[in-house]
Chains A and B, each alone.
Chain A
């Protein structure tokens, strides 16, 4: 009986106008989007190489620029990668890292780029809703539900067949979409997108998470269909919920949570920091003046004075680190609290949870940016400052014969690519929310169908 209902569902879905039109639309959109993303990624890779060569020449013991590594799966999910600074400058006279410059991309803010996450999270979930909304209510309208339930079959079995009848075709389309997108991205990027090992595994998990997303959406459609008497009412409710969780809540939620937990504007923070820096600069200059007076009094030679100067300098760098870091820590805590609050509220939207999981898998999420910031801070403290001071200690500025080729030799910034298990661990919380929502909606569907009035 299960098979008979399933076969009928497949037949209905296969013949449906919705599936056909969605398939045609996806066949046009997917290669176009993949091609554009691949071309864009190529530009990003070229830019990265360019920046590396510029920075190699311009970095010195006074200031260096560190570039954020490019996530290899960015063409599949852009996430926050484009919206956040892609390089940070460290200066030996400042205790903070600043983003030196950014390209002008106003159009990206008006019209977000279409990537695979958009195609699955928006277009394919809509397709699933369109297929699932009339599974029960539609049969009731046609009168076939009575006939099906007249047979020796449990309502749960009917429901399972209905959900499978929606999920299986959409899964096939999903696999087709991911496959097509991956092929076009790989070919069009001319080798810029490397898919091997961990990235390919991440892409497989990406597909599995997308299937969970589609099952969750199908469960939503069936649960509503099992509580509506007419398929048009069911579709109206499904479409409203879909619009709310996919388009309205993520957009509004982010702004509303930001305004309900505000952090002082960036310029105010910069001003506080500047005022602290100025205070420290004044004190440091005063100590240098005092030191030079003492050294003159003691008639110390220039080499010993240089060593004394370096000690003073090191002391003030440490002091500045301590004082400014305290301000930065407070600021980061405020931002972190705001983000955590926003996340908690927003994750109720399955679309946001889906995006969060993809962000962790593709390395384009907000946590990845936080990791980059942490790596830069470690680098500043462990490499840039000690090596800069060490270089200074070797120099003899009083001879006016500094070797121009004696440059600051620093190891590259270490931001190891996380393993798949680490990526999954980072995605555990949003993924569990997505799975919980799927289970709850399935249970709701079963409950609604058990009480459904088939007349």
Chain B
């Protein structure tokens, strides 16, 4: 808006300063907001925002319902297991003592191996929590039973938790809000009109970014908080303030993820001149970033960090035991089938401890590396970041493994000490250690630790948002508006 001075002066009396236009320029901040507002209204009018709101609300509620029931089921499962630990042990031995010989029959039924309680926040982000439902027997070795899931169709597909919906839909809607920003304005002719205003191109794209982000995040915020309220009211979950902080942090992470895709969409819009090409590029980009990159990163990490399988661990333990017994056989000439002597047992226990430590460390390293590789992509950063914040991520899983490692130490120490005690005393000591091990349950990861774990994924998302934002600004500076 330029308003030229209208003072009446004779042309000969005009000085140089009289030719300087008195500019009444709209502050660029209000112009940015004005264009952003136009975008937000346009998104409401062309049904993008209502469709986003409706779809997200519906799917997040469905997810909350399905996952809350799943959590309830797993909790029931755990509480039945816990009660079973108090059930009586049944068994006995009957001796058939006859005049010319005897034999006996023994049978017994003990408690089931314990399982760990599920985390309430797994109703929002299940993460690795399902993997921790296993029965685990800890003695001188650790025996991880198989997962407790039923062989069902769900084994074939993803888990429909909030993280899954955000990963798929927030990214898709973010792209939908932004992919055609430049070509649409260009095709309708409004781009030239807007650039005729005293607004810089960077400010214009900033306002388009603001408009798309607000349209997306407002819809997502409403849907997400309806989900949290539903979980709280209908299922009694997420009632503590710490849970609410976790929920807020997950919302923040998901919003950041949405902004990354808004910027990716804007970038696509600045490199494509026609909407048709923009749509195709957007869909291909979405599939690559959301569906392919995270899985490919995990596979690469697995290739680069090969770990022993559980069967390989068993084979190593068996081989080590065989070697020790063979050594004893060769030295003492004792029977091949004899049980290891008291002197050999500590050696066998130490090897079991060492091999199990190696196996668990390998698994933890693989998880860490997979996490490091995967958080480099936005969808991977979201998956790991949200599970970290929910307390169902790699950090929690690694401490779950650490719990069994230390339980094994307790058991091995008791077994070693029992070798030098009387039968009765030894049995009591082992029983005591077993009870101690069974009573140790994993606790929820502290909020601070969860937040610290999620710093790398958050930083990765920030970096992507800035990178694509700058790329979009840079490309838009060179965008041909004709």
Contacts and interface: CB of A to CB of B under 8 A. Distances in A.
Interface string B195-235: 00000000000000000000000000000000000000000
Contacts of A39: 303
A114 B318 contact: no
A278 interface: yes
A447 to B, nearest CB: 26
B105 to A, nearest CB: 5
Given A256-B62, A342-B152, A268 B283 contact: no
B144 A259 contact: no
B374 A111 contact: yes
Given A54-B314, A112-B295, A292-B97, A258 B154 contact: yes
B229 to A, nearest CB: 20
Instruction: Name, among A53, A270, A342, the residue most crowded by chain B CB atoms within 10 Å (CB to CB).
Output: A270
Q: Is the interface of B mostly helix, strand, loop or mixed?
A: helix
Nearest to A253: B153
A53 B309 contact: no
Contacts of B108: 281
Interface stretch (B2-10, B32-40, B155-163, B428-436): B155-163
Interface in A247-288: 247-248, 250-259, 262-263, 265-268, 270-271, 274-275, 277-278, 281-282, 284-285, 288
Given A47-B309, A102-B146, A268-B77, A288 B94 contact: yes
Contacts of B77: 265-268
Given A104-B144, A113-B299, A267-B80, A254 B153 contact: yes
B95 A292 contact: yes
B15 interface: no
A302 B84 contact: no
Contact of A265 (B73, B88, B143, B153): B73
Interface string A102-131: 111111011111100000001100100010
B102 interface: yes
A51 B311 contact: yes
Q: How many A residues touch the partner, as a band?
A: 35 or more
B131 A266 contact: no
B153 A339 contact: yes
Contacts of B374: 111
A288 B309 CA distance: 43
Given A254-B156, A266-B77, A285-B92, A106 B103 contact: no
Contacts of A265: 73-74, 76-77, 80, 148
Nearest to A263: B150
B60 to A, nearest CB: 11
Given A39-B303, A101-B310, A110-B127, A232 B275 contact: yes
Interface stretch (A3-11, A76-84, A425-433): A76-84
A369 interface: yes
Contact of A102 (B145, B299, B363): B145
A386 interface: no
B302 to A, nearest CB: 7
B315 A114 contact: no
Contact of A106 (B88, B172, B283, B367): B367
Contacts of B149: 83
A43 interface: yes
A443 B267 CA distance: 40
B100 A302 contact: yes
Given A243-B172, A259-B70, A366-B151, A100 B101 contact: no
Contacts of A292: 94-97
Given A36-B303, A111-B295, A252 B66 contact: yes
A288 B105 contact: yes
A346 B154 CA distance: 11
B283 A126 contact: yes
Given A36-B303, A47-B311, A114-B292, A254 B128 contact: no
Given A106-B367, A250-B156, A111 B294 contact: yes
Contacts of A262: 69, 73
Interface string B242-256: 000000000000000
A69 interface: no
A203 B100 CA distance: 66
Contact of A251 (B92, B157, B397): B157
Contacts of B314: 54, 101
A88 to B, nearest CB: 10
A434 B336 CA distance: 61
A205 interface: no
Interface in A280-307: 281-282, 284-285, 288-289, 292, 295-296, 299-302, 305-306
Interface string B366-394: 11001000100000100100010000000
Contact of B153 (A231, A284, A342, A397): A342
Interface in B141-197: 143-160, 164, 168, 172
B145 A100 contact: yes
B146 to A, nearest CB: 4
Contacts of A36: 299, 302-303
Instruction: Name, among B62, B80, B143, B367, the residue most crowded by chain A CB atoms within 10 Å (CB to CB).
Output: B80
B115 interface: yes
B59 interface: yes
Contact of B315 (A50, A106, A232, A335): A50
A266 B150 CA distance: 8
A21 B282 CA distance: 12
B420 interface: no
Given A32-B296, A278-B88, 12 more contacts: A18-B284, A58-B318, A84-B155, A99-B146, A111-B380, A113-B295, A231-B276, A247-B168, A254-B156, A259-B65, A295-B98, A366-B153
Which 5 interchain pairs have the tightest Cβ spacing? A398-B101, A102-B146, A302-B101, A265-B77, A83-B155
11 contacts: A104-B310, A130-B284, A252-B62, A254-B153, A258-B150, A267-B80, A267-B81, A309-B105, A339-B153, A366-B153, A404-B336
Interface of A: 17-18, 21-22, 25, 29, 32-33, 36, 39, 43, 47, 50-51, 53-54, 57-58, 79-80, 83-85, 93, 99-107, 109-114, 122-123, 126, 130, 134, 138, 231-232, 235, 239, 243, 247-248, 250-259, 262-263, 265-268, 270-271, 274-275, 277-278, 281-282, 284-285, 288-289, 292, 295-296, 299-302, 305-306, 309, 313, 335, 338-339, 342-343, 346, 352, 355, 366, 369, 397-399, 404
